[in-house]
Amino acid sequence: METLEQSEKIIAERYRIIGKLGQGGVGITYAAVDLNSNQKVALKALSLRLTTEWKKIELFEREAKTLSGLNHPGIPRYIDYFQVDTSQDRCFYIAQQLAPGKSLAQWIENGWKPNEAQVRHIASKVLEILAYLQSLLPATIHRDIKPQNIILQKNGLVFLVDFGAVQNTYHHTVTGGSTVVGTYGYMAPEQFRGKAVLSTDLYGLGTTLLFLLTQKFPSDLPRQKQKIKFRDRVSISPEFADWLEKIIEPASEDRFHSAKDALSALRGEQPKGINPEKMFKRSPQSRITLIDAKWWLFINIYPARFPRKPTVVFQFIYQSYKVLPPFFLILVFFDLILGLIVVPSDGPFSLFGYTVADGLAKFFHLFVFRSIQAVIIFTVFYALMCLCWIAYYLFTRPIQISPQDIQRVKLSGIHLPLLKKSITFCRIRAQSRNYCFGLFLPQAEKEWLVGELSDCLSKLK
């Protein structure tokens, strides 16, 4: 992407460009002066004319929206988002507080060789920022942690910048995937599959710390079964090496499951709560994913076109609605024919034993009556079908809940007198409301899910 703006150019009659800070996959960032406050700002620009992918525009707008809702001393303050139209182009801009200092990449280029204490300090500060992002609802994933996006001041202050690849867990969970973004060498393996979880940013931080310690790009370090081998290239304590080993595990479930847990382990604190090794769980039939993020539980039930083993009443309604239209057409046809020939008549101009006038009256009467009857029955069955589908999706929707709010987890039942049986569903009793789900799941999966949730609850007590 070519340079969009020249030095000293004024944008939107407010921002004066004073230099170029950097260029990434989504836009170019300039240093500018806010003429209203006379403060230096970072002005990120994206040209519609020079953009070949609409996805970049979507990521740019998502970055602006995310930044507008963040409030942390380690994240430069959001100022404005606007666009400028010209006769040849449309440019989008994000104005943000300019983080003083240099990126970790610039520090290394200038010959800086940090020791273990300095690297630990950077890790601690970045983890504090990530813990804040993961505490949001929904949790926010940066997805591009690397030396270029971490700013370090001489006094030790650390800033995290460039949220152009940001993603939230709710969006990813519901849609089931996303575009592959990130920087090669610092990307967690799951990012190559278009996925991102809370521990994804931890992998990027781990490889960034290895870059500081080894002065080499992570892609240049030896690997064994996808895992980076670094111990013979660094001079650090065994405890810190073990911590780094865990944070760069290729499998996301083998890392610390959150920034808060990684920070606790770095400080030598004993992690509390749920076992990080059991963060992601699949039901026996793989229709349920239970994501235990310590502060939040995510329960996803993947529906089929219709329940695999629906109850008899719902199956009857579903099948009946498909055969009712042809059945009623046949019924009306034979009813009209039989109704016209049942009673004979001796009068002239008779048809099937009826006079023409009586036959037409009989025909009209039967046709109207059957039509009204069909409309009523169709309406009733359609309403029942709608209720079935509403109930189905209501009981298979994704659920997100704080484990601390859970008071009780159990299987509840609905008794059906006509069928002389009961159907069960999962129920979570929380402080604010009750959550009912899993009505159409097989009994084994319901019992598995309630057991897992009860286990999570017992570990918090």
Catalytic residues: 144
H, E, C per residue of 12-78: CCCEEEEEEEEECCCCEEEEEEECCCCEEEEEEEEECCCCCCHHHHHHHHHHHHHHHCCCCCCCCCE
The amino acid sitting at 112 is W
Helices (H) and strands (E) in the chain, counts: 10, 22
Q: How far is CA 295 from CA 71, 204, 268, 280, 298, in A?
A: 20, 22, 21, 14, 10
CA pair distance 161, 150, nearest whole angstrom: 6
- Using left for φ > 0, alpha for ψ between -120 and 50, and beta otherwise, residue 287 falls in alpha
Cis peptide before 284 (omega within 30 of 0): no
Phi, psi (deg, nearest 5) at residue 449:
-65, -45
Q: Phi and psi dihedrals of 298, rounded to 5?
A: -115, 120
In whole angstroms, what is the distance from residue 253 CA to residue 191 CA?
A: 14
Distance separating alpha carbons of residues 31 and 23, to the nearest angstrom = 12
Decide: 48 and 57 in contact? Cβ < 8 Å.
Answer: yes
